[in-house]
């Protein structure tokens, strides 16, 4: 059974601080996605990474896919209260069209 | 349509009852997914449709759960003999095509509470 573990599970930081969220698995994924979900809404896709070692930047967010395509990280620089939410990683294995979601990291950024 | 819509937004039912949850995907999206999200956890895959057919239903927990998409657009998730453990938010997502890495657009979900 594929399992995506995210750490930390909860994170509360002050505005302006930096943070990193990790997504780890023993399985190899052909693609991995990061989502942010706010209360009462569905997850919204932030990025998709497909190549081992790939780094993508989205404003203050930096996403990295591990060389072995088993893990990923999300780094936020100078966090803002608007970054508050549940961050989810989701991985797909080659030949399947379903994404397995991680356990989630709940981030709270205090003003 | 503007986005994926799901109805009802909330459903409260009694143990043993039958419920139907509806999903209206984005117009033109051929792929449709159902997920279940329990409190404090990530979404759990239930079933994936490509057009009218269920391409992968490996996530359905048991035979009380069934989903249809008769015309390749709207989908209905049906749960028979509901149990308290079925309480969760049921999310629907659609994508333009079932390509790996394609963007899934999620609806706001239906919160199901089984008393």
Per-residue model confidence as pLDDT tens digits over B58-106: 999 999 999 999 999 999 999 999 999 999 999 999 998 766 667 889 9
**Mean pLDDT across the stretch B7-28?**
97
Taking contacts as CB-CB distances below 8 angstroms, the residues of chain A near B42 are 4, 6, 88, 90, 101-104
CB contact under 8 A, A104 and B42: yes
User: What does the pLDDT read at residue B67?
Assistant: 97
Whether the pLDDT of residue A52 is over 80: the answer is: yes
CB contact under 8 A, A43 and B40: no
Mean pLDDT for chain A overall: 93
How far apart are the C-alpha atoms of B30 and B96, rounded to whole Å? 6
Taking contacts as CB-CB distances below 8 angstroms, the residues of chain B near A94 are 100
How far apart are the C-alpha atoms of A19 and B17, rounded to whole Å? 45
Q: Where are the beta strands (DSSP E) in A1-111?
A: 5-7, 10-14, 19-24, 31-37, 44-49, 55-58, 61-65, 71-76, 85-92, 100-101, 105-110
**Mean pLDDT across the stretch A6-21?**
96
How far apart are the C-alpha atoms of A87 and A102, rounded to whole Å? 9
How far apart are the C-alpha atoms of B30 and B17, rounded to whole Å? 31
């Amino acid at each position: 059974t594929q399992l995506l573990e995210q750490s930390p599970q909860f994170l509360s930081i002050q505005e302006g601080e930096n943070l990193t969220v990790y997504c780890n698995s023993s399985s190899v994924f052909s693609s991995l996605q990061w989502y942010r979900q706010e209360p009462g809404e569905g997850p919204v896709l932030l990025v998709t990474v497909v190549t081992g070692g790939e780094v993508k930047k989205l404003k203050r967010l930096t996403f990295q896919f591990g060389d072995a395509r088993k893990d990923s990280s999300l780094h936020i620089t100078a966090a803002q209260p608007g970054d508050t939410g549940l961050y989810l990683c989701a991985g797909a294995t080659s030949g399947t069209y379903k994404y397995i979601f991680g356990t989630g990291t709940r981030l709270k950024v205090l003003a | 349509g503007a986005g994926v819509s799901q109805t009802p937004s909330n459903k409260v039912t009694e143990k043993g009852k039958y419920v139907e949850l509806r999903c209206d995907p984005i117009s033109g999206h051929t792929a449709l997914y159902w997920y279940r999200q329990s409190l404090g956890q990530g979404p759990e895959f239930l079933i994936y449709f490509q057009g009218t057919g269920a391409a992968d239903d490996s996530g359905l927990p048991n035979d009380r759960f069934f989903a249809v998409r008769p015309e390749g657009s709207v989908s209905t998730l049906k749960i028979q003999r509901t149990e308290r453990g079925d309480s969760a938010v049921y999310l629907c997502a659609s994508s333009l095509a079932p390509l790996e890495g394609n963007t899934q657009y999620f609806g706001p979900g239906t919160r199901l509470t089984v008393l």
